[in-house]
Chain A
Amino acid sequence: MPVKDYIRERFFPHIWCSGCGHGTVLNVLIRVIERLGLNKSDIVIVSGIGCSSRIAGYLDFHTMHTLHGRALAFATGIKLNRPELNVIVPMGDGDALAIGGNHFIHAARRNIDITAIVMNNRIYGMTGGQYSPLSGYGIFASTAPYSSVDQSFDVAELAAAAGATFVARSTTYHVNEAAQMIQKAILHKGFSVVEIMSQCPTYFGRKNRQGDAVDMLKYMRDTTTPIGSGAKGQNPELIERGVFVNKELPEYCSAYDEVIRHAMEGR
Chain B
Amino acid sequence: MGGNLKFVQGNEACVEGALYAGLDFFAGYPITPSTEIAELLASRLPKTGAKFIQMEDEIASICALIGASLTGCKVMTATSGPGFSLIQEGLGYAIMAEIPCVIVNVQRGGPSTGIPTRVHQGDVNQARWGTHGDHAIVALTASNHQDVFAMTVEAFNIAETYRTPVVLLFDEVIGHMRERLVLPEHGEIAMVERLKTSVKEGVDYHPYLPREDGRLPMSDFGGVHRYNVTGLYHDMWGFPSDDSDVVDGLLRHLMDKIENQAAHFPKYREFYTEDADCLFISYGSAARSARHVVERRRRLGERFGLLELQTLWPFPHDIVKEKTAGARYIVVVEMNTGQICQSVRLAVSRPERVFLANRIDGVLITPTDIQRVIRLIYGKGF
Interface residues of A (CB under 8 A from B): 8, 10-11, 40-42, 44, 46, 56-57, 60-67, 70, 73-82, 84-85, 102-103, 106, 256, 259-260, 262-264, 266
| Chain B residues, CB < 8 A from A46 | 67
5 contacts between A and B (CB under 8 A): A64-B70, A67-B89, A73-B55, A74-B63, A262-B46
B residues apposed to A, CB below 8 Å: 24-25, 27, 43, 46-47, 49, 51, 53, 55-57, 59-61, 63-73, 75, 89-90, 93, 221-224, 226-232, 237, 239-240
B316 to chain A, nearest CB (A): 32
A79 — nearest CB in chain B belongs to which residue?
A: B67
Query: How far apart sit A103 and B51, CA to CA, in the bound complex (Å)?
Result: 19
B231 touches which one: A44, A65, A77, A264 (CB < 8 A)?
A: A65
Known: A77-B27, A85-B221. A63 touches B228 (CB 8 A): yes
Is A76 in contact with B64, judged by CB distance below 8 angstroms?
yes
**CB < 8 Å: which of A57, A78, A85, A260 contacts B49?**
A260
Q: Are B63 and A65 in contact (CB under 8 A)?
A: no
- Inter-chain contact A256/B221, CB cutoff 8 Å: no
Give the Cβ gap from B277 to chain A, nearest Cβ, in Å. Answer: 51
- Chain A residues contacting B65 (CB-CB under 8 Å) are 77
- Minimum CB distance partner of A15 in chain B: B240
Note all chain A residues with C-beta closer than 8 A to B229: 63-65
Identify A256's interface contact among B51, B68, B224, CB under 8 A: B51
Closest 4 CB pairs of A and B: A77-B67, A77-B64, A73-B63, A263-B46
Q: Considering the chains assembled together, what is the distance between the CA atoms of A264 and B47 in angstroms? A: 5
- Assess whether B51 is in contact with A73, with CB atoms less than 8 Å apart: no
Given A66-B93, A73-B67, A81 contacting B228 (CB threshold 8 A): no
Residues from chain A with Cβ under 8 Å of B221 in the complex = 44, 62, 64, 78, 82, 85
Contact B67 A78 (CB under 8 A): yes
Whether A77 lies near B25 (C-beta < 8 A) is yes
Cα–Cα, bound, A130→B66 (Å):
30
Are A81's CB and B63's CB within 8 A?
no
In the bound complex, residues from chain B placing their C-beta under 8 Å from that of A78 are 67-68, 70-71, 221
CA distance A40 to B221 in the complex (A): 12
Instruction: Report which of A41, A81, A84 forms a contact with B24, defined as CB distance below 8 A.
Output: A81
Besides the contacts A65-B229, A79-B67, what 16 more A-B pairs have beta carbons closer than 8 Å? A41-B222, A42-B222, A44-B222, A57-B228, A57-B240, A64-B229, A64-B230, A66-B63, A70-B59, A76-B67, A78-B221, A81-B71, A82-B71, A260-B51, A262-B46, A263-B46
Q: How far is the CB of B74 from chain A (nearest CB, A)?
A: 11
Question: CB distance B56 to A102 under 8 Å?
Answer: yes
Shortest Cβ distance from B66 into chain A, in angstroms?
6
CB-based contact A65/B240 at 8 Å = yes
Once bound together, how far apart are the Cα atoms of A11 and B72, in whole Å?
26
Is A10 a contact partner of B237 (Cβ separation < 8 A)? yes
**Which residues from A are CB-within-8-Å of B64?**
73-74, 76-77, 80
CB-CB under 8 A from A40, the residues of chain B are 226
Q: Hey, which chain B residues are within 8 Å of A73, CB to CB?
A: 55-56, 59-61, 63-64, 67
| B-side contacts of A65, CB under 8 Å | 228-232, 240
Does A64 contact B67, Cβ atoms closer than 8 Å?
A: yes
Inter-subunit contact A57/B230 (CB<8 Å): yes
User: Contacts A102-B56, A103-B56 given: A63-B226 contact, CB under 8 Å?
Assistant: yes
Q: How far is the CA of A3 from the CA of B59 in the complex (A)?
A: 36
CA distance A245 to B103 in the complex (A): 39
The answer to whether B63 touches A102 (Cβ under 8 A) is: no
CA distance A106 to B71 in the complex (A): 22
Asked if A260 and B67 make an inter-chain contact with CB atoms under 8 angstroms apart, the answer reads no
* Contact (A41, B59) CB under 8 Å given A64-B67, A74-B64, A264-B47: no
The CA of A219 and the CA of B70, in the complex, are separated in Å by 42
Partner of A60, one of B25, B71, B226: B226
B231: A residues at CB distance < 8 A: 65-67
**A66 contacts across to B, CB distance below 8 A:** 63, 66, 93, 231
Interface pair B60/A264, CB less than 8 Å apart: no
